[in-house]
Amino acid sequence: MQQEKNIKIDIRHVNIFARDVKILKDLNFEVNSNQILGIIGPAGSGKTTFLRSLNRMNELETGWRIDGQILLDGKDIYDSELDVNSLRKRVGIVFALPVALPMSIYENIVYGLRLSGVSDKKRLDEIVEKSLSAAFLWDEVKDRLSLSGLRLSGGQQQRLCLARVLAMEPDVILLDEPCSGLDPISTTWIEDALTELKKKYTIILVTNNTMQAARVADMTAFFLMGELIEIGLTKQIFTAPVKKETSDYITGRFG
C-alpha cells in the first residue's frame, strides 16, 4: 500500500463534462511524488482533457464542468478560494507543438518571471542557466541567448518550452505528447531530461507512443473512451496487464 506522505495528486471520483457530454468517467487514482506517470490510450480517450484538468485549463473553454475532487498536496485545486494563477505556476504544462515566444531565448525563459515581478538581473541569469541546463539545452544555446527562440529547431524549441516551465519552479510538470512532432534524436533529449527531472518534480506524460511510456514512465495508466481501464507499474502494464483491453491496445490489436 502506498504511503500517504508520497501522494502528490489524488484523483477522487472525477467526472468531466463538456456541454453535458461526459468526457471522463469516475476517475480514481493517485500520483506519487517524484515519479513519471505515463498516460496512454487511443485518440478520444480523454487523456488531454484529464491533463488540462490538473491546472484548470479546461476552464478556458465554455460549457465545461467537473465533479469530484483533484487534490494537490491534500488541497482541492477546485476550491473557490484557490488562486488559479498560483496553481498554474505550481503545475506547468508543455504542449504537443512547441510554443516559442517571438523573442530571444533569454526572454522566453524569463517572460513568466518578469510577469511575476522578478527583476533582479543576477537572479534571472541564474534561473536561465539552471532551467536551460535542466532541459538539456544550455550547452547548445549558452553563447547565443539573444537569438530569437523561433530560430531554434523544433526539438530545441520544445526543450526551450520545457525550460520556460522549469523557470517558474513548479511542483508538477504536465506534458501533452511533447515528442509527437520530433525526430528520434530530439525525442531522446526530451526523455533523458524527464528521467533526470523526476528527481525533483512529479511528471505526468500523455503519449501516443506506447514505447515512450515503456521507456520513461514509472507508472502507466491506460485510458479508453473516458475510463481508466488500468493503472500500475509500467513493467507490469506492458508485460502482464490485468485487463484484456490493455493487452489489446499495447499489442496493437486496436487503437
What predicted TM-score, i.e. pTM, was given to this entire model? 0.94
C-beta separation of 80 from 135 below 8 A: no
- Contact 225/26 with Cβ under 8 angstroms? no
C-alpha span between 64 and 168 (Å, rounded): 27
Q: What is the pLDDT of residues 39-89, one digit of tens each?
A: 999 999 999 999 999 999 999 888 999 999 999 999 999 999 999 999 999
pLDDT (tens digit per residue) in 7-39: 999 999 999 999 889 999 999 999 999 999 999
What is the percentage of the chain residues whose pLDDT exceeds 90? 92
Residue 107: its pLDDT value, please?
97
- Output the CA–CA distances (angstroms, integers) from residue 129 to 7, 156, 165, 196, in the order listed: 30, 15, 13, 16
The predicted pLDDT at position 1 comes to: 40
Please determine, for residue 3, whether its predicted confidence score (pLDDT) is greater than 70.
no
pLDDT digits (tens, 9 = 90+) for 82-100: 999 999 999 999 999 998 9
Neighbours of 32 (CB within 10 A): 16
Q: Beta partners for 16?
A: 24, 66
Q: Quick one: DSSP state of residue 204?
A: E
Confidence of residue 255 (pLDDT cuts 50, 70, 90): low
Whole-number pLDDT of residue 181: 86
Mean pLDDT in the chain?
94
pLDDT for 32: 96
What domains sit in the chain, N to C, each tagged with a CATH number?
4-250 (3.40.50.300)
Task: Look at residues 102, 109, 97, 98 and name the one whose alpha carbon lies nearest to residue 133.
Answer: 109
Per-residue pLDDT, averaged over 173-194, amounts to 95
| Pairwise CA distance, residues 251 & 126, whole Å | 46
